[in-house]
Amino acid sequence: MLELKLTPELDNALTREAKRARKSKAAVARDAVARYLEDVRDSRDAAAVKKRGERSYSMAEVKKRLGL
């Protein structure tokens, strides 16, 4: 379990988003943390590829190669 102390501005924004999405504030916060952690993982993976000198591909290159 995690307890967060949010600034009033963040709490208000979270409340508005939860109401808009018809979700609990906890569900919105969980989704945001999950997306953040996925982004961090992706960034670390990309940095590791670059460090090893491997070729990376842009999304446009991948789509073109796959005919999408």
Contact 11, 29 (CB under 8 A): no
Count of CB atoms situated within 10 Å of the CB of 11:
13
Residue 1: predicted pLDDT: 87
Domain locations along the chain? 8-66
Does 37 have pLDDT greater than 90? yes
pLDDT band at 23 (very low <50, low <70, confident <90, very high): very high
- In this prediction, residues 26-48 reach a mean pLDDT of 96
Sign for the pseudo-dihedral over CA of 42, 48, 49, 51: positive
Phi, psi of 55 (to 5 degrees): -75, 135
- In this prediction, residues 32-57 reach a mean pLDDT of 93
Is the full-model pTM beyond 0.85?
no
Q: Which residue has the tokens 């988003």?
A: 17
Residue 55: predicted pLDDT: 87
